[in-house]
Chains A and B, each alone.
Chain A
Amino acid sequence: MVTARQVAETVTDPELPQLTLAELGVLREVAERDGRVTVWITPTYSGCPALDAMRDDLVRSLTGAGYAEVDVRVTLSPAWSSDLITGPGRRKLAEAGIAPPGPAPRPAPGPVPLVLGPVRTAACPLCGSPDTEELSEFGAAPCRALRRCRSCREPFDHFKEI
């Protein structure tokens, strides 16, 4: 029998099915004791509407693999960061036409500095050109911004640094 961790690591994200929850850094911990499995996941954003679907997918996969009792819990600390997306996760994002995030700003004590100019850059995942512009900081999902390539003119999603 495969371990509960191995099973949980195969579960994919409901909105980005190219990536597993583990590659996205959302799967935090899998504990197995006497056939009972507890899984901790963490939302990318506080209002992430996909959390229920993630839980149901985890429960379905683990019960399908023979684990009768599965408990999925949500944890918030430490807060999810785009830095948690793994190397393979980043490659898969790019292959899906989504520019992977750059390094996230480090959480620092004290007031958050106000930034008024455009701060992010991202190479076009379609043609590779670094000459791209941000169309909107908020895209099709909370975790994505919308950009456009000035070379090939195609719009594309950018996984935001957070």
Chain B
Amino acid sequence: MDKNQNTSNKRKENCSDENKCFELLESILDGEGTADSKEILNEKIAKCQPCFEHYHLEKVIKEILQNKCTKHMVPSELAATIRQKIQDLK
């Protein structure tokens, strides 16, 4: 039986154009999608297992990058040093 044959409740196991699809899914995650591409997204997620997995994995990676990445505190004197140097320029 053809593994890629699509049934109404089972996603196909291989994506015919992963690179293009994944780039599109990522651009939608990044807020760059158009109305059209959102329809395509819903369709892909419903019907294609690699697209479904890629979308959810990229979504959670984006979230941990945003929420968990170490933030570096700006040295307290930096703003004052910059202002002083600007004054010296005048």
To the question of whether A and B form a pair in one complex, the answer is no
Chain A residues within 8 Å of B, Cβ to Cβ: none
